[in-house]
Structure 1
Amino acid sequence: RETSSPSLGKDKADTVIIGGGCVGVSLAYHLAKAGLKDVVLLEKSELTAGSTWHAAGLTTYFHPGINLKKIHAYSIKLYEKLEEETGQSVGFHQPGSIRIASTPTRVDEFKYQMTRAGWHPTEQYLIMPEKVQELFPLLNMDKVLAGLYNPGDGHIDPYSLTMALAVGARKYGAQLNYPVQVTNLNSRSDGTWDVETPLGIIQAKRIVNAAGFWARDVGKMIGLPHPLIPVHHQYVVTSTIPEVKALKTELPVIRDLEGSYYLRQERDGLLFGPYESEEKMKLQDSWVTSGVPRGFGKELFESDLDRIMEHIEAAMEMVPVLRKADIVNTIAGPITYSPDILPMVGPHQGVRNYWVAIGFGYGIIHAGGIGKYLSDWILEGEPPFDLIELDPNRYGKWTTTEYTAAKARESYGFNNIVGYPKEERFAGRPTERTSGLYRLLKSRCSMGFHAGWEQPHWFYKPGDETGYK
C-alpha cells in the first residue's frame, strides 16, 4: 500500500491536475513522459479514492462510437506494456469478451457494428452459438443466437493500474501530492491560476479538473457547476464455483445485453454487475445540492440486492452454475454520470486555461487513451483527432440539475438497450422553449434536441406513434 505525506513541493507549476483517480494519474504520466517536467497532481485523499478503487476494471476494444474506439485501443495497448515499463504489476487479464445476442434485433445490431469495425481495425468477430459455447462452456445456450467477440478484451485491477501509472509519472518527473485538498481557485489577469490549499498556494499556467465525483464541487469554485451526478452501481462476487475452478483457461467476459449485466471470472468464482432500469436505478442526488460529504473517499454505499434481483435471476438462467454459488462480497459505490453518459474532456469556453477530464462512468478503459489524448492537445495546441462528442462545452446554462438527473437516470437505464442511429431520447425535455413549440407538437411534429433547444424535424403521418407529448 502506497503512503504519502502532505506536501506541495513547489509554489509554481506548468500544469496542476486536481484528482488522483486513474484518469488524473494517467494525464500526469503522459504529460511527464512527453517531456513536461513541471506537472503537479493534487489529491485530497489518496490515489484511487472515489470511484477508481472499487471499479470492476473491465477493458474492451468495443465502443459503438467510431472515435472512442481509438481511446479504448490505446488504453489496452498501454496496459499491456505498463508493467514492463514501470515494474509495477497491473493485474491485466485478456480472456476476451462476448456480447450475447438473444433476439433477432440484437443480431442485426451486431451486424451493423461489424460494418463499423473497419473505421478503427481491431479484432472483432460475429460468432455463432457453437463458438460462443466453446469459449464459455458454462453458458445456457437456449436463447443464444449469436455473439460479438473481441479477443483482446478483459479486465484489470484498477488500484494496481493507477499505482503503475503513478510510478511512471514520478519516473518522468511529475509530482503527485496527497492528501492535499484544493480549497479555492482564483484566475489571474495573465490567464494563470492560483490554486489554494491548506499548505499554501501554487501558481499554475493551467489547471485540469479530473476530480471524479468531486468535479462538480471543484467547478463551483469558478462558477461552473458541471452537469454531473453520482449514481449507485453494484456488483457482486461469488464464492469458489467448482465448475469454474476446474477450467483450464479463464472465461471470457460476458455481456448479456437483454439481461443488462456483465459477468466475468474472479479467481475461482464469478463477478456479476447489472445496470438497472431507469425506474429502479438510484441517484445520489443529494451530493449535487449539498456537495460530497466531507471525508468521503474510500467508502461504499449500503448494498441493495432487491434492486438488482431481476438481473441476478437473468444471470442465473444464462449461467446456471451461479445458482450454487454464495455471494461473498457486494460492492455498491458511486460512479459519475454526465447527462448523455459520455465524459467531458478538453478546455472549457469562457475560462482561460481551465481544462476538464470528468464524467467518466467507465474510467478504467478510458484512462489510458484520454491521458494521451489530452496530453497531446495540451502540448501541441490542438487535439490529435476529433472527439467532438466529449466536448465539455456541449452543455450550457440550460443544463439544470433537474435535466442532469433525468438524463443520467435515462442513460444509466438505457446502458444495454438496442441503439438506433439518430434516435431521440426524451428525458428532461424540453429545456429551452420557442414560442411555437407546443403548436408544432400539437401538429404531430417530431422534435430534435440541440444545445438545449427543441428543433422541428418532420411531421408524423396519421396513425404513427409520436415521441414525447
Structure 2
Amino acid sequence: MTSLYRAIRLVGMEFVKFALRVRRWVMECQGMSETADIVVVGGGCIGAAIALHLAEQQAGKVLLLEQKQLANGASGKGIGIIRTHYTHPVLAKLAYASLQLFHNFEERFGGYDSGFNPCGYFILVGDSDVDTLKDVVSMHQPLGIDVQMVSPAEAQAQMPFLRIDDVAAAAYEPNSGYGSPPKTTIALANRAAELGVEVRTETPVTGIKLDLEGRIEAVSTPTGDIATRTVVDCVGPWARKFTEALGLPFPVSPVVEHVVVMERPTEYAAPHPVVSDLVNLCYVRSDADQPYTRIGNSDPKYHPQFLLPDADQFHGQQFPDICETLQQKLIRRCPILETAPVVETYSGIWGITPDYQPIIDRLDHIPGLYCAVGFSGHGYKLSPIIGDLMSRFILGKIDDQVKLLDLFRFSRFQENSLIQPPIRYARAGGLR
C-alpha cells in the first residue's frame, strides 16, 4: 500500500510540473515578454523562505522580487529572538518546528549560516503570572519543547547582574536564543538562487493585473509585466498598500519598533542568555562578539503612538521618549548598567494585525493570490517552517501540519473570530 501511495504521489507531482510548463507556454503565446509560474513579492525572511521551499518542491519558474534590497523591511532591524514561548499551542508547535530548523540550518540549507546563537532563554514573571507560566510550561512539554520551571535565583546564577526581587517565578528554554534576521534572509535567498529561483532586488511590483474573470494574469514592474497566475504576497508592513488597488483591505498596520543598545562593564562582558521580562514588558539579548545588551519593547500600549499611515513613511525615525523608557527598563532589570554608555538606538518596522497574529492564506476572491503577512514581530523566528508549510499549501500538498495554517486565515477578521490564546498573562496578554 505504501508503494502504491508513493507511485500515485510521484505521478501527481509530475502532472503538476507538466501543468506548470503548459501554463507558462500559454502565457508566452499571449504575448507577455516574460513569464513565471510563481512570483513571490517581498525579499524579507518570509518571502525568501517561501521561495526557497517552492524551489525545493520543484514548483517551476519562481521569481523573488524585492523593491529595494533583501531584508529591507521588518527583517532588516529585528532583534532576532528565537524562542518557543507562546500561549497558543499552534504557535508553540510552529515555533518549535522552526527552532529545530534553526539548529540544523547549515546542514538543511546548503551550508549557509543564519547567525543563530542558542544561548538560552529565560522568561521572568511577577506574582500575578506564576500560575500562567506554569500552565504554559505544562502545555509546551508534551509538544516536545525543552522548557523547565526554574527559580529566579537560577536565572541570576547565569546572569549575576540580574535584579530579581520583583520576579516571582521563571522558566528556561536551553535551546532557544537569537539569530540575525538579515543574515538568515540572505542565506535563504542565496540557497533559493542556487536551486533556480531568480532573485531580483530593486524591482518593485507596481501593480497586479487581472484577466476578465478576475484571476491574476500578471504583475507589473518598472521594467515590464511578468505573466503569472500565482502571486505570493510577503510584503510585510506594506500589505495594506500592496492590495488596495484590488479593493482588498488588509488589516495590517505599519508600526515603528525601537531598540536600545548598552555596553556592559568589563567584569560582566561575557555573553548572557535572552530574557523575556514580563514584569517590565521588554526583552533583552546580548551580542556574541561584543559586551553589548540590546533591549526591545513588548508592551503593546505604545503601538498606537508609533503607527504610520504608510510603510513608505518609515525612514528610521525614533519616537520621543521611548528609547529613554527602554533604557530605564533595562537599568531596572540590570542595575549595573546605570552608568553604562548607550552605544546605539535605532528603529525598525513591523506589520501588526488586530490580534497580533499573521495572515497566511489563499485569497479566493482573487484567484491566484496567496499571502503571508502581518507577523507582528514574530515572523523571523517562524520563517523556516512557514516557508515549508506555505510552499506545500500553494502546491496543494495538504497534510495535518499544513492545516495548522487555517488558524491564520484571512476570513477571521470578517467572521469576528480573532485568534484568542487559551492562556493569557496578566499584563502581556497572549504574549502575541
Check if 1:370 corresponds to 2:392.
no
- Match of residue 72 from structure 1: 95
Q: Deviations over 1:207-261 (max 9, x none)?
A: 111011111111113111211111121111113531331x3xx311111101010
Q: Residues 238 and 329 of structure 1 are in contact (CA less than 8 Å); yes or no, is this contact kept in structure 2?
A: yes
What CA distance in whole angstroms lies between the structure 1 residues aligned with 2:425 and 2:57? 35
Partners of 1:59 and 1:163 lie apart in 2 by 17
Aligned-partner SS, 1:221: helix
TM-score (norm 2): 0.83
Q: Secondary structure at the match of 2:228?
A: strand
Deviation for aligned residue 1:280: 7.2
**Equivalent position of 2:427 in the other structure:** 417
Residue 122 of structure 1 aligns with an amino acid whose one-letter code is I
Superposed counterparts of 1:201-212, under 5 Å: 201-212=225-236
Alpha-carbon distance in structure 1 between the residues aligned to 2:426 and 2:116? 25
Of 156-165 and 183-192, the range deviating more from structure 2: 183-192
AA aligned to 2:336 is: V
- Structure 1 window deviating more from structure 2 (85-94 vs 40-49): it is 85-94
CA drift at 1:167: 1.4
SS of 2:130's equivalent?
Answer: helix
Q: Does 1:200 align with 2:224?
A: yes
Contact persistence 1:71–1:368 (CA under 8 A):
no
Per-residue deviation, 1:335: 1.0
Residue 257 of structure 1 aligns with an amino acid whose one-letter code is: L
- What is the aligned partner in structure 1 of residue 14 from structure 2? none
Q: Show the counterpart of 2:112.
A: 88
**Residue 301 of structure 1, aligned match among 301, 305, 317:** 317
Alignment partner for residue 312 of structure 2, among 250, 274, 292?
292
Matched, 1:54 2:77: yes
Identity over the aligned pairs, expressed in percent? 26
Q: Counterparts in 2 of 1:373-412, with a 5 A limit?
A: 373-382=389-398, 384-396=402-414
1:36-47 alignment, distance < 5 Å: 36-47=59-70
The answer to whether the Cα contact below 8 Å between 1:349 and 1:393 also exists between their aligned partners in 2 is no
Q: Is the 8 A contact 2:275 2:283 kept in 1?
A: yes
The alignment's C-alpha RMSD in Å is 2.6
- Matched to 1:254, the amino acid is V
Q: Tell me how far apart the structure 1 counterparts of residues 99 and 330 of structure 2 sit (CA, whole Å).
A: 27
The aligned residue for residue 190 of structure 2 is 167
Q: Is the 8 A contact 1:20 1:49 kept in 2?
A: yes
For residues 398 and 274 of structure 1, do their structure 2 counterparts lie closer, same or farther at Cα, with a shift above 3 Å needed? Answer: closer
Select 1:145's aligned residue among 142, 149, 168: 168
Give the Cα separation in 1 of the matches to 2:370 and 2:203.
20
Encode CA deviations 1:134-174: one digit per residue, 9 max, x unaligned. Answer: 22222112222221111111110111111110111111111
Which residue identity is paired with 1:156? G
Which amino acid counterpart does residue 242 of structure 2 have in structure 1?
V
**Cα offsets for 1:284-324 (capped at 9, x unmatched):** 3422xxx624xx6xx311353x2354443333122111213
1:54-111 deviation digits (Å, cap 9, x = unpaired): 11011002211111122212222222232344333322111111110221x2111111
Give the partner amino acid of 1:220: E
Shift of 1:119: 4.7
8 Å contact kept, 2:259–2:323: no
SS of 1:79's partner is helix
The 2-side partners of 1:382 and 1:359 are apart by: 23
* Residue number in structure 1 paired with 2:272: 251
- Read off the aligned partner of 2:202 and give its amino acid letter: P
* Aligned residues between the structures: 389
8 Å contact kept, 1:101–1:107: yes
Alignment counterpart, residue 297 of structure 2, candidates 271, 274, 278: 274
In the alignment, which residue of structure 1 is the partner of 2:6?
none
TM-score, with length taken from structure 1: 0.77
Per the alignment, residue 155 of structure 2 pairs with 132
> Match for residue 28 of structure 2?
none
Distance 1:82 1:129 in 2: 32
User: For each residue in 1:154-208, what CA deviation from the matched residue of structure 2 results, as whole angstroms up to 9, or x when unmatched?
Assistant: 1101111111101111111111112111111112257342111111111112111
- Report the equivalent of 1:113: 136
| Separation (CA, whole Å) in 1 of partners of 2:162 and 2:193 | 45
Distance 1:181 1:273 in 2: 30
* Aligned partner (choices 236, 239, 246) of residue 222 of structure 1: 246
8 Å contact 1:44–1:180 — kept in the other structure?
yes
Bigger helix share: 2
Residues 311-369 of structure 1 show CA distances to partners (whole Å, capped at 9, x for unaligned) of 43333122111213111110122211011100100101311111100001222112111
Matched residue, 2:282: 261
Q: Does the 8 A contact of 2:260 with 2:323 survive in 1?
A: no
Q: Deviation at 1:276?
A: 4.0
Correspondent of 1:357 among 330, 349, 372: 372
Q: Any idea what SS the aligned residue of 1:292 has?
A: helix
Q: What is the alpha-carbon distance in structure 1 between the residues aligned to residue 332 and residue 212 of structure 2?
A: 63
